[in-house]
Structure 1
Amino acid sequence: MSHPIMFDEDDPLLARVRDLALAFPDAAEKISHGIPAFYTTKIFAYYGGSIKVGGVYQRHDQSLLVFPDPEERQALLEEERCYLPAYLGPYGWVGVDLTAGTDWDEIRELLDASYRRTAGARRVARLDKG
């Protein structure tokens, strides 16, 4: 059973996330569970997420899910624009709402941290070489 597509290909926020995510060494994109996923050997970011409220899932379509450093994770979760995404939250992932005045330099830093945690030593070395 395939998942329905849950994003708008013409979404300008997705276009910006895509530009940033695909700039990392060997990064690629695939559709996973109906949303864009950015990966090398492992997924380092998703575009779109959800939370469960009162037994019902609420979509956060224009958000970025990242796998931040554990030290940074708690600070992010204290911010109003960030949330614990359904399914992935218990494993260390954080959702960031991109509709609330996005700082794109910070988004790139979050993608960088998530990439570094998932991409493997050779890819991280390539990233560090520039």
Structure 2
Amino acid sequence: MTDSPILLRVRELALLLPEVEERPSHGQPTFFVAGKQFAQVREDHHGDGRTVVCVRTSGTDEQAMLIDAAPDTYSRPAYLGPSGWVSIDLAGEPDWTLVEDRIARSWELAAPAGLLEAGGR
């Protein structure tokens, strides 16, 4: 994948958070904190024609609530969905404030307690 404007923007948001590392996972640009994945950019994943960022939620209840409340924004991503993750649609003109907040929340869910206690974000 080339560094598309969407990837560059997500990367900028993710790398604002403490101790973040980017590396490919299953061929997708993926962001980690303390070895735990918290965000993944997918552009035309398996030919689906979509551009999304996948992020953690607190679990399947929150996942269902987000998808039910805003089905044009959120969906259940392949592979990560059973663990409660959501994908955020980045087509058109996404709400970057929402995207930033969801990436930061996902980081908080993945970060070790010691990092959160030290001040987190």
TM-score of the pair, normalised by structure 2: 0.84
> Which letter maps to 1:46?
Q
SS of the aligned residue for 1:87 comes to: coil
* Cα 1:16/1:126, change in 2 over 3 Å: farther
Shift of 1:103: 1.0
Which residue pairs with 1:14 in the alignment?
7
TM-score of the pair, normalised by structure 1: 0.78
The 5-angstrom pairing of residues 37-116 of structure 1 reads 37-40=30-33, 41-48=35-42, 57-70=46-59, 72-78=62-68, 79-116=71-108
- Equivalents in 1 of 2:10, 2:72: separation in Å? 20
CA contact (8 A) 1:81 1:100 kept: no
| RMSD of aligned residue pairs (Cα, Å) | 2.1
Shift of 1:74: 2.2
Residues matched between the structures, number: 117
- Equivalents in 2 of 1:95, 1:101: separation in Å? 16
CA contact (8 A) 1:48 1:59 kept: no
- Equivalents in 2 of 1:114, 1:31: separation in Å? 18
- Equivalents in 1 of 2:85, 2:100: separation in Å? 16
SS of the aligned residue for 1:31 comes to: strand
4+ residue segments displaced more than 4 Å: none
CA contact (8 A) 2:44 2:51 kept: no
